[in-house]
Chains A and B, each alone.
Chain A
Amino acid sequence: MNKSTRPSPIKVQNLSMRYHHKPVLTDVSFEIPEGKTIAIVGPNGAGKSTLLKGIMGLEPLIEGNVSFFGEPLAQKRLSTAYVPQREEIDWDFPISVLDVVLMGRHGQLKLWQRPGKLDNEIAEQALKDLKMWDFRDRQISQLSGGQQQRVFLARALAQQANLYLMDEPFAGVDVATEKAIIELFKTLKAQGKTIVCVHHDLNTVGEYFDWIVFINARLVAAGPVEEVLTKENLQKTYGGRLSLLNDLTEEMYRTRLNQAHDSD
């Protein structure tokens, strides 16, 4: 399963996260292979987006460890690109499509540096790959949902990373955008890049992805599609039989039992 040459793009160990007292994720551990497309799947509110944000260090972990190609995120930022959900943005912000994509080049720039010729060329190519070059001077407020998604993807592409993490890239997009995203996946895979997506649509997950990680506040299963996309796993993930588990974990957080216990 593992290429013995390189450590996994992402290795998650005992990751736990919460929102107020609600246990969003508890003790999740898995490793993903390089050069594949991986879907994170689970019911609404199961913690998929939170898992992604926790992995990227955007939200605090209660405990756990994440390594990227064997090293902590801080060492590997240039290899990692993150595409968030569209809702997060103020779409009224005065900024053009090209400028958004150029923002992706920041990882490479020092504090006072402006994007240079090379950065502009990379941004141009990224936009062309997503068929958004014609829109480069448009204000983002004037774009449709699918076009906005493509701008975000172009930005991630401009980062020239090895690992792409995307939060529901297919949500609410039109057919043209969906096709463009699939094309992008193929191209990136051919270059040996790894793509991890939070995905909401069970109907397409087998078609678009090589690997699945089933999450419902816990890890239910993780592996290649052929092995893991089974009725039993679907039942376990979506079946809702873990209420006692969740209730108790919530109680644990509410009383801060975990802190009381572990500080001995």
Chain B
Amino acid sequence: MEHFTLLNPINPASTWQLLIEFWQFNDMNVLWVLIGSILLGISASVIGSFAFLRRRSLIGDALAHAALPGVMMAFILFQTRDPLVMFLGAVTSSFIGFFIIDWLPKNTKIKPDAALAITLSFFFALGLMLLSFIQGMEVENKSGLDKILFGQAAAMTQDDINLLMVVTSFILISVVLFFQKFRLIAFNASFARSLGIAVNRYELLLALLIVMSVVVGLQLVGVVLMAAVLLTPVATARLWSDQLKNILLLAGAVGALSAIISTQISYLAPAMPTGPWMVVSLSTLFFLSLLFAPKNGLIKRYLQQQQLRQKVAEENILRTLYKLWERTQFEQNDFSITDIQGLRAMHTLDLRKTLKLLCRKQMLKESAHGFRLTDMGLEQATQLTRRHRLWENYLNEHLELSPDQVHSQAERIEHILTLEQEKQLEEELKDSRQDPHGNLIPNAKKTKTPAHPSKQARSLSS
């Protein structure tokens, strides 16, 4: 891409210089903008979480677009850039948008997703129409109204910032005050209603809070991308926790962090709009969480799978050795890899690896004659065999299955049966000694009871 040049190439030295300046807060304005954006990040994320939980993730998108005509109209009517006037205008038209999004699916054939898209695009078009009208008007102060499309932190005045701080504080306080009710309504509105809670009033309050947080963020993030600030933080937080309180805190933290990063970048490159950078930081945090989150992250899931696979392989081998030993009437103890592969199909390399692992865990002992179970290994193998065969009996009693089916199902379940469940099975099956194939079920104790030779090797499939 050498034919394209960056407008303002990044000069490391001056960048570092600027960064230091930023954090020294020599420019008070910078500090106020930073605080304002952090508050915005927190309040939008928190209130957006409730919208997300009510399955209306993209309502922030529609409401942000719906605010545009209100801003324009307020300007046309009052000819002022006073933040409070702009704010009220925006809130009014956004609220009308909210009402329409609600009304359309309830009273016409139109479905909720279409209602969102219709409101979003219609109001936005109306706003743009008014903007173009304003641009033709002979008035002062009209420039910069279009900064609201993508956000521009640098364009904010002290008044703007004051309003931002007041509104976001109000939002956060309301959430803290009404947390219990909001949570109940988000989870199960009809139950809340049955308890006598005035659900409609709280829903109205929630709507108002969503509208306010969207409107107040427009200057920083812009109309088009505001949706992301409400939606991405909670999506990220959910990857880390299941508790609502923690989700809200995490979402707020994510919002705040992204606000800091994007304000920083905005300072370094004042010509660029701030909104996109906030979205990029939020998305990066989201995708990183998707990969690395301890509970649900993709990498974690992959590692868990690998661990499980290893455990299953080990246990399978232990059981196979037990079976081999049982078949020789408990005489022979050492078995080779070929012997093992005779009973259980496994790649030689994988088999060798797992055998080595088991030796290291002292479950097996290797010698010139082959592999044998140690005492510890025997205990484990006995327990596994016991569970396998108990489970086969259980299946046989309750369902009509062929011996093959019984065996293959038990092959899997044996790895996750717990001691408690084992006891439960014993009680239910009232003392059975043999599994459906005629093999003896080993006792819970370490000692092995000698088998009746005639009952051995009745079926090949075990």
Contact = CB atoms under 8 A, between A and B. Distances in A.
Given A248-B421, A263-B309, A264-B350, A255 B399 contact: no
B421 to A, nearest CB: 7
Greatest chain B CB density within 10 A among A219, A251, A263 is at A251
A264 B314 CA distance: 12
A257 B412 contact: yes
A27 B305 contact: no
B411 interface: yes
Interface string A207-251: 000000000001111000000000000001000011011001101
Contacts of A259: 305
A264 B313 contact: yes
Interface string B79-92: 00000000000000
B418 to A, nearest CB: 10
Interface string B308-339: 11001100100000000000000000000000
A236 B399 CA distance: 9
B309 A260 contact: yes
A242 B372 CA distance: 38
B295 to A, nearest CB: 13
B422 to A, nearest CB: 11
Interface secondary structure of B, over-half rule: helix
Contact of B417 (A27, A248, A258, A260): A248
A199 B195 CA distance: 37
Contacts of A236: 398
A261 B412 contact: yes
A26 B274 CA distance: 54
A242 B397 CA distance: 11
A144 interface: no
Nearest to A14: B405
A114 to B, nearest CB: 27
A249 B346 CA distance: 24
Contacts of B201: none
B376 interface: no
A23 to B, nearest CB: 11
B401 interface: yes
B348 interface: no
Interface in B268-313: 304-305, 308-309, 312-313
B109 A92 contact: yes
Number of contact residues on B: which range applies?
A: 20 to 34
Contacts of B109: 92
Contacts of A244: 394, 421, 424-425
Contacts of A264: 309, 312-313, 316, 345-347, 350
A242 B400 contact: no
Interface string B383-420: 00000000000110011110001000101110111000
Contact of A257 (B401, B405, B415): B415
A222 to B, nearest CB: 9
A242 B398 contact: yes
Contacts of B346: 264
Contacts of A252: 412-413, 416
A221 B109 CA distance: 45
A219 to B, nearest CB: 7
Interface in B345-362: 345-347, 350
A256 interface: yes
Nearest to A26: B409
A256 B301 CA distance: 10
A160 to B, nearest CB: 34
A261 B415 contact: yes
B350 A27 contact: no
A218 B399 contact: yes
Interface in B231-290: none
A255 B398 contact: no
Interface string B422-437: 0011000000000000
A219 B398 CA distance: 11
A219 B308 contact: no
A84 B417 CA distance: 39
Contacts of A256: 305, 308
A255 B308 contact: yes
Contacts of A221: 400
Contacts of A257: 308, 312, 412, 415-416
Nearest to A221: B400
B420 to A, nearest CB: 11
Contact of A219 (B400, B411, B416, B424): B400
**Which of B316, B394, B413, B417 has the most chain A CB atoms closer than 10 A to its own CB?**
B413
Contacts of B409: 26-27
Contacts of A92: 109
Nearest to A247: B421
Contacts of A241: 398
Contacts of A263: 309
A260 B421 contact: no
Contacts of B413: 248-249, 252
Closest 8 A/B residue pairs (Cβ)? A260-B309, A260-B308, A92-B109, A260-B312, A261-B312, A261-B412, A251-B416, A248-B413
27 contacts: A14-B405, A26-B409, A27-B401, A27-B405, A27-B409, A29-B405, A219-B399, A219-B400, A220-B399, A221-B400, A241-B398, A248-B413, A248-B417, A248-B421, A249-B413, A251-B416, A252-B412, A255-B416, A256-B308, A257-B312, A257-B412, A257-B415, A257-B416, A260-B305, A263-B309, A264-B316, A264-B347
